[in-house]
Structure 1
Amino acid sequence: MSNLPVYAHRGGATKYVENSLRSFEYAKKIGVDGIEMDLQLSADGVAFVTHDLDFFRLAGINRRITDMAAEEILQLKLGKTFLRRFLYSRVLSFDDFLSFFEQTNLKLNVEFKESFLGKTEKIEEVVYKTKNIKDVHFSSFEESILETIQRMPIKTKTAFIGKKNSSWDEILANRSYDAIHLNKKFFGTELMDRIWEAGFPMRFYNIKGTEKYLKNPPKSVIGWITDFPLKLIEQQNRL
C-alpha cells in the first residue's frame, strides 16, 4: 500500500467530539501525518476551531457563531445529547489549538469557513499565527479567501476545495493553487483527469479506509483526508 500522508479529518472525529482537543490528541497518538481542522469567526473576531456556522448539531443551541462573542462560545458544552450534561468538550480557540499543535511535528490543513468571507485582516492574522509550523496549507471552498492568502507578502500553500458546479475553467487557469481537494466521489472521474492534466495534485476527503485504490493510487494524489485515520495507518502497516 502506498504510504501517502494521512490527515485526520477534524481530528479523531469518530472517537471524540470533532475538532476538540481530545480528538486532536488522539490523532497524534495513533500516528497520523497531519490534522485537518476548520475555522469559523466569532462576532468579536476570534477564530475558533469548529465546522458549522451554528452550534445546533454539536451543542443543541440554534445560534450562529457570528452572533456570539468569544466568552459565550467558550462556555458551550459539546457532544452527543445524552452525554453533553456530564461528559462534554469545549470549543477550542485557534490560539489554544496552536499551543497544542506547535508541540507536534505534524502537517496541518487549515480550512477557512464562510464566516471569514470579506474579513481580510482576520484571514491574514490566522496565516501569520502559523509561521512556526513547518508544513501547513490553507484550504477553502471560497476562492476569495484563498486569493486573500495568496496576496500576502509571505510564502504560503493553498488548496481549493472543489465541487461539481465549481467554475473549473477559471479555477484550473489559476496557477497559484498548490493543490485541489475533492470528495472521494470524484476519484477516477473525468474531472480528476482534467485537474491532473492542468498540473494540480489532489487530496481526497471522505475516505473510509476500505477503498481499493488506497493500495496503489496514481501519482496525482498526494494525501488522504479521513474520519478513519487509524484504519488507513493500519493498512499502511505502520503499527
Structure 2
Amino acid sequence: MSNASFIPVFAHRGASAYALENSLKAFEKALELGADGIELDIQLSKEGTPVVYHDPQLSRLVGSNKLVNECTIAELENFKLGKPWRRLFSSYRIPTFHAVLAWANRHQLPLNIELKSTILDNKDALIDMLHGLILPKGSHFSSFHYELLEAVKRYAPQYETALIATKKLKWDLLCDYKAIDSVHMHKRYYKPRYLEACVASAKTCRFYAVDGNEKFLTNPHPSVIGWITDFPDKVLTVQQRPLR
C-alpha cells in the first residue's frame, strides 16, 4: 500500500458534496464517511462572535445583500440557508464556531480553521477567540491573510498555521514567512516548482479541490501532509482505506 494511506483527508466545508457547506449536517456526514478532519470557514458577526460561514456577504445562501459582519449573532442564527427555491423551508442555519468546536472536541475530529476577511477588521475578536482555545489534536489554522496567521502564532503558538497560496506568494522567499508552518494550495499547484519550494523552506503542504481522480493521490510527494476535498469518501477509497 502506498504512503497515501497515511495522509489525512479533510472534508472541505464538511462533506459539502452531500450536504450544505459549513453546516452541522455536512460535518456529521464527513464524520460518518470517515474523514480525518473538517475544513471550515470563520467570519465574525457584528459583535465579533465567530460563526461558520464562507462568504463575507450573505447573498449566495441567504438571499440578503448584507455582509456577515453587519449582522448581529441573533440575526445570523435566524437566517435560513440554501438555494433560493429551497430556502423558505430549509432547516439549515449558520452555526457558531463555538457550537461546532464543542462537537469537534466531543468526537476528537481535527479542524482546519480558515480565517476569513471579516476578521481583518476585528483582530481583537480573533485574539479573544484564541485565548484559552482548546482544539482537537491535529487541528490548524489557515488563511489567505498572513497577518491573521501572525496573530495566531503570537497568541496560540501551539497550533500549526498554513498560508493559502495565491499568485502574490513569493515562492523563492517562502522561508521568510516565519509565521507559517505549511502552505495550502489548489491542486493546479501540484508541480515540482511549488513542491520543491516547500521542501527548501522546510514547510509542508496540503492541496484542496481534490476530487479523488488525481493521479498524484497514489504516490504523493513527501512534503504533502493533507488532502482537502468535497468528497472524503472518494479520496479515502483511492487510499484503500475502509469507509465507516
Superposed pair shares fold, TM > 0.5: yes
Q: What's 1:122 paired with?
A: 125
- Between 1:127-136 and 1:227-236, the stretch displaced more is 127-136
Q: What displacement does 1:133 show?
A: 2.3
Q: What displacement does 1:118 show?
A: 4.6
TM-score for the superposition, normalised by structure 2: 0.92
Match of 1:165 among 164, 168, 185: 168
- Unaligned 5+ segments in structure 1 are none
Q: What's 1:43 paired with?
A: 46
- Say whether residues 1:19 and 2:22 are aligned partners: yes
- Counterpart mapping for 1:186-197 below 5 A: 186-197=189-200
| Greater fraction helix | 2
1:6-44, CA deviations, whole angstroms, 9 ceiling, x for partnerless residues? 000000111111000100010011110010000000111
Match of 2:72 among 63, 69, 74: 69
Instruction: Output the CA distance in 2 between the equivalents of 1:154 and 1:218.
Output: 27
1:131-162, CA deviations, whole angstroms, 9 ceiling, x for partnerless residues? 15222111111011011111126522111111
- Between 1:119-128 and 1:106-115, the stretch displaced more is 119-128
Instruction: Output the CA distance in 2 between the equivalents of 1:148 and 1:118.
Output: 13
1:187-232, CA deviations, whole angstroms, 9 ceiling, x for partnerless residues? 0142332222221110000111100110010101111001111111
Change in CA separation of 1:170 and 1:193 when aligned onto 2, cut-off 3 Å: closer
- Counterpart mapping for 1:20-169 below 5 A: 20-128=23-131, 130-152=133-155, 154-169=157-172
| Runs of 4+ residues over 6 Å off in structure 1 | none
Q: What's 1:211 paired with?
A: 214
- Structure 1 residue identity aligned to 2:111: L
Change in CA separation of 1:83 and 1:118 when aligned onto 2, cut-off 3 Å: closer
Instruction: Output the CA distance in 2 between the equivalents of 1:43 and 1:168.
Output: 36
- Unaligned 5+ segments in structure 2 are none
Instruction: Output the CA distance in 2 between the equivalents of 1:31 and 1:218.
Output: 23
1:82-133, CA deviations, whole angstroms, 9 ceiling, x for partnerless residues? 1111133000011111121111122211000011115332112222353152
Overall identity of the aligned pairs, in %: 36
Q: What's 2:238 paired with?
A: 235
Asked whether the equivalents of residues 110 and 139 of structure 2 are also in contact (C-alpha less than 8 Å), the reply is yes
1:160-179, CA deviations, whole angstroms, 9 ceiling, x for partnerless residues? 11112224455431234211
Paired residue secondary structure (1:92): coil
Q: What's 1:199 paired with?
A: 202
Asked whether the equivalents of residues 42 and 114 of structure 2 are also in contact (C-alpha less than 8 Å), the reply is yes
Instruction: Output the CA distance in 1 between the equivalents of 2:171 and 2:191.
Output: 17
Paired residue secondary structure (2:118): helix
How many residue pairs get aligned? The number is 239
Provide the alpha-carbon RMSD of the alignment: 1.6
Change in CA separation of 1:194 and 1:45 when aligned onto 2, cut-off 3 Å: same
